[in-house]
C-alpha cells in the first residue's frame, strides 16, 4: 500500500484506492470487448454441444455395438501410439537435447514438423512412404507380407506420426533444463551412461514425461486427417471415435453429438489432470 499523503479526507481514501485497483485490473474497453468475444467464441460451441445433447437417449446411443467398437479402437490405438512415441521419442528427445552435431537445428525442425503440418498431408505422406507401392512399403510387402494402409496398425502409425512431436518437444525441453549436476554425480559413483539415464535422468524428468505422454495420447485420440487418409474409415478396424463422429453426422446426428460429448469429457479430464499435477510440476526446474 502507498504511504498516506497529507490532505484529502481520510475515510474516502481506501474506497478510492479500491476503485483504482479494480479499474486497473479490468483494463480498457478496447481490449476487454474483443477478449469477451473471444471467450464466447470458444465456449459457445461447447455449450451448444451440451444444450443439444440427446441426454435421454444417451445410454442407448453409446451402448451401440459400433460405438463401443470405435471407442475401444480409439483407446487402444491412442495408447499404442503413445507407447510407440515413448519408445522412439524419448531417445530422440535425448539426442536433440544432449548432443551437438552439424544439422542438429535442422533435424529438430524437421522432427517437429508434424506439429504444424496439416494432418491430411501427413496421411498422404505416410501413404507414399508405407503404402503398398510406397518408398518403404513395397519392401514391407515383399519381404514380410506386411501391409499398413487401411489396417489397425496403420491407424497406430498415423497417430504416432502426428502425436509423437508433442512428446518429443515436452521431453526435450525437460532434458534441456534438467540439472546435469546430478548426472555428473552419478558418473563419479560409477554409473554407466545408460544407468545414469535410467536411474537419474528419467526419474528427474518424470513429470514432463507424464505431461508429454498425456498430451501425445490426447492428440492421438483426436487424430482424424492422417488416419482417414492413411488408414481409411472401416468400422471395426480403422474407424476411431473422430471418424465415427464424422460418419454419424451423415446418418444419425444425435449419435454424433453423443460421441462428441465422450471426446469432450476425455479432453476435460486430461486438461484438469494436467493442470493440477503435471503441467506445473513439469515447468518447475
Nearest approach, Cβ of 285 to other proteins (angstroms)?
Answer: 12
User: Which lies closer to other proteins via its Cβ, residue 193 or residue 280?
Assistant: 193
Nearest approach, Cβ of 207 to other proteins (angstroms)?
Answer: 11
Please state, in angstroms and rounded to a whole number, the distance separating the CA atoms of residues 140 and 135: 10
Give the SS3 label for residue 183. Answer: helix
The yes or no reply on residue 204 touching other proteins (CB under 8 A) is: yes
Nearest approach, Cβ of 202 to other proteins (angstroms)?
Answer: 10
The yes or no reply on residue 203 touching other proteins (CB under 8 A) is: yes
The piece of 30-38, 46-54, 76-84, 200-208 that touches other proteins (CB under 8 A) is 200-208
The yes or no reply on residue 185 touching other proteins (CB under 8 A) is: yes
The piece of 30-38, 130-138, 151-159, 185-193 that touches other proteins (CB under 8 A) is 185-193
Please state, in angstroms and rounded to a whole number, the distance separating the CA atoms of residues 46 and 157: 30
The piece of 46-54, 128-136, 182-190, 249-257 that touches other proteins (CB under 8 A) is 182-190
User: Which lies closer to other proteins via its Cβ, residue 182 or residue 246?
Assistant: 182
The yes or no reply on residue 191 touching other proteins (CB under 8 A) is: yes
User: Which lies closer to other proteins via its Cβ, residue 138 or residue 180?
Assistant: 180
The yes or no reply on residue 281 touching other proteins (CB under 8 A) is: no
The piece of 99-107, 140-148, 195-203, 208-216 that touches other proteins (CB under 8 A) is 195-203
The angle that helices 241-251 and 65-98 make with each other, rounded to 10 degrees, is: 140
The yes or no reply on residue 246 touching other proteins (CB under 8 A) is: no
From candidates 140, 187, 249, 264, binder to other proteins by CB under 8 A: 187
Q: Do residues 159 and 217 lie in contact, with contact meaning Cβ atoms separated by under 8 Å?
A: no
Phi-psi bin for 118: left (phi > 0), alpha (psi -120 to 50), beta?
Answer: beta
CA dihedral 146, 151, 156, 158 (to 10 degrees): 90
Q: Do residues 139 and 57 lie in contact, with contact meaning Cβ atoms separated by under 8 Å?
A: no
For 168-180, b/e burial (b = at least 16 CB within 10 A) is bbbbbbbbeebee
The yes or no reply on residue 181 touching other proteins (CB under 8 A) is: yes
Please state, in angstroms and rounded to a whole number, the distance separating the CA atoms of residues 134 and 188: 49
Q: Would you state the cell numbers that stand for residue 54, as one nine-digit string?
A: 440427446
The yes or no reply on residue 283 touching other proteins (CB under 8 A) is: no
Please state, in angstroms and rounded to a whole number, the distance separating the CA atoms of residues 162 and 216: 9
User: Which lies closer to other proteins via its Cβ, residue 105 or residue 190?
Assistant: 190
From candidates 38, 192, 234, 265, binder to other proteins by CB under 8 A: 192
Site for other proteins in 36-65 (CB under 8 A): none
Please state, in angstroms and rounded to a whole number, the distance separating the CA atoms of residues 285 and 174: 8
Provide CB contacts within 8 A for 156, sequence distance 6+.
77, 80, 81, 84
The yes or no reply on residue 100 touching other proteins (CB under 8 A) is: no
Binding interface with other proteins (CB under 8 A): 181-182, 184-193, 195, 199-200, 203-204, 206
Amino acid at each position: 500500500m502507498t504511504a498516506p499523503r497529507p490532505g484529502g479526507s481520510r475515510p474516502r481514501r481506501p474506497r478510492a484506492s479500491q476503485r483504482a485497483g479494480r479499474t486497473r485490473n479490468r483494463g480498457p474497453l478496447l481490449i476487454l470487448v474483443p477478449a469477451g468475444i473471444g471467450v464466447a467464441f470458444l465456449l459457445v460451441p461447447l455449450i451448444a454441444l451440451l444444450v443439444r445433447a440427446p441426454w435421454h437417449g444417451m445410454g442407448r446411443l453409446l451402448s451401440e455395438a459400433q460405438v463401443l467398437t470405435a471407442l475401444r479402437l480409439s483407446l487402444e490405438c491412442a495408447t499404442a501410439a503413445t507407447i510407440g512415441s515413448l519408445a522412439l521419442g524419448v531417445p530422440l528427445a535425448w539426442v536433440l537435447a544432449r548432443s551437438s552435431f552439424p544439422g542438429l537445428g535442422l533435424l529438430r525442425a524437421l522432427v517437429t514438423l508434424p506439429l504444424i503440418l496439416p494432418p491430411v498431408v501427413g496421411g498422404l505422406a505416410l501413404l507414399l512412404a508405407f503404402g503398398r507401392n510406397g518408398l518403404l512399403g513395397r519392401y514391407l510387402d515383399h519381404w514380410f507380407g506386411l501391409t499398413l494402409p487401411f489396417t489397425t496398425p496403420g491407424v497406430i502409425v498415423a497417430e504416432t506420426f502426428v502425436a509423437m512431436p508433442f512428446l518429443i518437444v515436452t521431453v526435450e525441453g525437460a532434458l534441456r533444463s534438467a540439472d546435469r549436476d546430478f548426472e555428473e554425480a552419478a558418473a563419479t559413483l560409477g554409473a554407466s551412461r545408460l544407468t545414469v539415464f535410467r536411474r537419474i535422468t528419467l526419474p528427474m524428468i518424470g513429470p514432463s514425461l507424464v505431461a508429454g505422454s498425456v498430451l501425445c495420447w490426447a492428440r492421438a485420440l483426436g487424430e482424424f486427417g492422417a488416419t482417414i487418409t492413411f488408414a481409411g474409415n472401416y468400422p471395426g478396424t480403422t474407424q476411431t471415435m473422430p471418424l465415427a463422429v464424422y460418419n454419424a453426422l451423415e446418418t444419425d446426428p444425435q449419435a454424433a453429438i453423443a460421441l462428441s460429448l465422450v471426446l469432450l469429457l476425455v479432453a476435460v479430464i486430461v486438461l484438469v489432470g494436467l493442470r493440477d499435477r503435471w503441467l506445473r510440476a513439469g515447468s518447475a526446474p
